[in-house]
Amino acid sequence: MPPEAAALNGGPMPGTRLPAGWKAPLGALALAAAALLAITAPAWGAMWHQWWNIDTYSHLLLVPFIIAWLVALKEEELAAMVPQPFWPGLGLVAAGLALWTAGTRLGINLVAEAGAVAALQAAVVALLGVRVSVLLALPLACMAFLVPFGDEIIPPLQMITADIAIALTHASGVAARIDGIYIHTPAGLFIVAEACSGVKFLIAMVTLGVLVAFTRFQHWRARFAFLAACVIVPILANGVRAWATIYVAQFVGAERASGFDHIVYGWIFFAIVVMAMLGAAWRFFDRQPDDYGWPPETIARWNWLTRAEALTTAPSRAVIAIVAMAAIAAVATLL
């Protein structure tokens, strides 16, 4: 194929690894991402602090690598495409920046962090276009897991864990009474504290569940079933863990049982439950990871996508618009 034809079809130019049609959009995306990261740096700094310093969110350090891996799986399909910047995507960038601005001004970190991530997701749609974004829908969606969330569900999880623990304690023949999250037993008082709510386990399992559901299952029914299991099983397992601690304490004492619980739950129990979940689902896996998402030939048949691709703009204009919107949002936070 002549060099000119290769460039027109998005194929790689001789002597280069990057298809010629990707150079301008990727360059524009790099500039836009740099501008967005610089403007929303406080939100990203807060997220990094939570990833690095709070055990509940330490698994999120793996999410950028998972996203990169998912994108790499689609390398061949992406090389066959030519990105077409989608100017309505600029509206999504504006919405993300508005969310970040509102969260920053109101002092609500979760809102500001969600807006910062959403603006970056929208920049991909705006600068690489609808077709590329559809192909990369899973890694784009996984970016949402960069936002540390879950503190809001700790109180109900504490109550559920306490209810499961007291039911199992009574069933095992141990006399006990419950008062909210306080469980009174002959061996002493047990408190289902925030650290014992199981939120860390639940959030990590949901993150893993989304990855497995969309890379190893082809049918929605199987995906929903596995995702439901990734919510229900950790909650039940955490209740069993809490009961086991109470039960063992009746024989070895509360202090020794609590110390053993932290070691077992942190290093062994979680791994056993994860392996059990994956082992039970293994026989039902019906696709390879690199087949995730919609096949390019299916995407090519979507008429709405062809119509959407008519709404194009130059990469340079799109990146200028994103930088300008980022600057306006930064000023808005200071007013």
Q: What is the DSSP string of 146-182?
A: GS---GGGHHHHHHHHHHHHHHHHHHTT---EEETTE
Residue 135: inside a domain: no
Residue 296: inside a domain: no
Q: 217 and 324 share a domain?
A: no
Residue 300: inside a domain: no
CB 210 within 8 A of CB 203: no
On the question of pLDDT at 266 being above 70, the answer is no
Residue 276: inside a domain: yes
Q: 209 and 257 share a domain?
A: yes
On the question of pLDDT at 5 being above 50, the answer is no
Q: 29 and 119 share a domain?
A: yes
CA–CA dist 257, 183 (Å, integer): 15
Range of the domain at 181: 152-287
Q: 173 and 238 share a domain?
A: yes
Q: 175 and 95 share a domain?
A: no
Which of 15-19, 121-125, 180-184, 189-193 is modeled with the greatest confidence? 121-125
Confidence of residue 22 (pLDDT cuts 50, 70, 90): very high
Q: 121 and 180 share a domain?
A: no
Confidence of residue 260 (pLDDT cuts 50, 70, 90): low
Residue 120: inside a domain: yes
Q: 77 and 202 share a domain?
A: no
Least confident window among 7-11, 118-122, 292-296? 7-11
Write the single-letter amino acid at 125: V
Strand 177-179: give its sheet, edge to edge. Answer: 177-179, 182-185, 188-191
Residue 158: inside a domain: yes
What would the pLDDT profile of 300-330 be if each residue is shown by its tens digit?
A: 889 999 899 899 999 999 999 999 999 999 9
Q: Can you give the pTM of this predicted structure?
A: 0.87
pLDDT of residue 234: 93
Catalogue the E-assigned strands of the chain: 177-179, 182-185, 188-191
In this prediction, residues 213-234 reach a mean pLDDT of 95
Q: 283 and 169 share a domain?
A: yes
Q: 27 and 76 share a domain?
A: yes
Total of domains in the chain: 2
Q: 319 and 260 share a domain?
A: no
Residue 299: inside a domain: no
What would the pLDDT profile of 96-121 be if each residue is shown by its tens digit?
A: 999 999 999 999 999 999 999 999 99
Give the angle subtended at the CA of 161 by the CAs of 158 and 164, to the nearest 5°.
Answer: 150
Q: 106 and 159 share a domain?
A: no
110 CB-contact burial (10 Å; exposed 0-12 / middle 13-18 / buried 19+)? middle
CA–CA dist 72, 70 (Å, integer): 5
Q: 275 and 314 share a domain?
A: no
Residue 137: inside a domain: no
DSSP state of 301: T
pLDDT of residue 45: 96
